[in-house]
Amino acid sequence: MTVVTQPTAKGYAPLWTLAQFRAKFGVDWQDGCTVVVTNGHWEANTIIPIGTRFVKDPGRIDVMFSANSTAPIRINWTVLLPNT
């Protein structure tokens, strides 16, 4: 799947809030959830996604980048949910 997001100048961009994650996948974020990301349009923005992070307060999942950028970026993502 893919999403276009707006990076901050601090090396990350919000991917989903916890409410958006719950609405999209039907489960709450929990230990064992994994999000794999890659740059979906290298010609538009050459920044490299290096991973994701969970931010407890204010409650969101961010994509982390190798450098700062403020240009929009298309992120291809895959979500792996733990067995419950």
pTM for this entry: 0.86
Note the pLDDT of residue 4: 86
Asked if pLDDT for residue 69 goes beyond 70, the answer is yes
What lies within 8 Å, CB to CB, of 9 at 6+ separation is: 68, 69, 70
Give the count of domains, the chain.
Answer: 1
Expressed as residue numbers, the domain containing 67 is 2-80
Note the pLDDT of residue 84: 66
* Radius of gyration for the alpha carbons in the chain, expressed in angstroms and rounded: 13
Note the pLDDT of residue 41: 92
Exposed, middle or buried: residue 24 (CB in 10 Å: 0-12, 13-18, 19+)?
A: exposed
Average pLDDT of span 26-38: 94
Judge contact between 65 and 12, C-beta under 8 A: yes
